Amino acid sequence: MLVHSRREPVRNSFRYPLSFFVLDLDELPDLERRLKLFSINRRNAVTLRDKDHFDGTRPVKEAVVHFCAERGVEVDRVLMLAQLRVAGYVFNPVTFFGCLKDIWNRESGWRYDAENPSGAYGIPQALPGSKMSSAGADWQTNPATQIKWGLGYIKAIYGDPCKAWAFEEANGYY
């Protein structure tokens, strides 16, 4: 369970249930054969996708072995603690939160009432701010509504926060 609570600038708290799986990467093909609702790199109720880990250009185990080898560590067996895609969605806080944090630190300082002379508003700096009304009528004052809208925007336009951050770095906006 991810729990967040703060007192300023506005009192806010939330709880977000998280599910993690420990996978022996050598057992993945057998798991995929035995578990009807689990797949590797294809749509299913629960999915492990290589593209969700590291740079996504190689199978996860190969990526881990390569990563370790570059640092002089020899690896044979790999146990992975991960969040898997459920119904096609995944949120990997280790990978994506750093990028999301960087974007919204730069854009708004994570202030729900941040305004830009261009008219951009809120944590995600929606332009115009009223676009966030699609996530809730309380878009002007509720950080959770703004974050929900911002994550949807990032997913629709860039795919994930790290791709949005790369665009932001290259262009000065996202």
Same domain flag for 68 and 121: no
Q: Residue holding tokens 């300082």?
A: 109
Domain carrying residue 125: 93-171
Last residue of a domain, one of 35, 53, 86: 86
Spell out the residues 6+ positions from residue 89 whose beta carbon is closer than 8 angstroms to its own: none
Query: Are the C-beta atoms of residues 98 and 53 closer than 8 Å to each other?
Result: no
Residue 41 domain-assigned (yes or no): yes
Q: Is 13 part of any domain?
A: no
- How many separate domains does the chain show? 2
Burial label for 116, CB within 10 Å (0-12, 13-18, 19+), is middle
- 43-58 tens-digit pLDDT: 888 899 998 888 889 9
Residues with Cβ within 8 Å of residue 130, at least 6 apart in sequence: 139
Asked if residue 6 belongs to a domain, the reply is: no
Q: Is residue 16 part of a domain?
A: no
Whole-model pTM? 0.51
Could you read off the pLDDT of 65-88 as tens digits, one per residue?
998 899 898 888 999 988 888 777
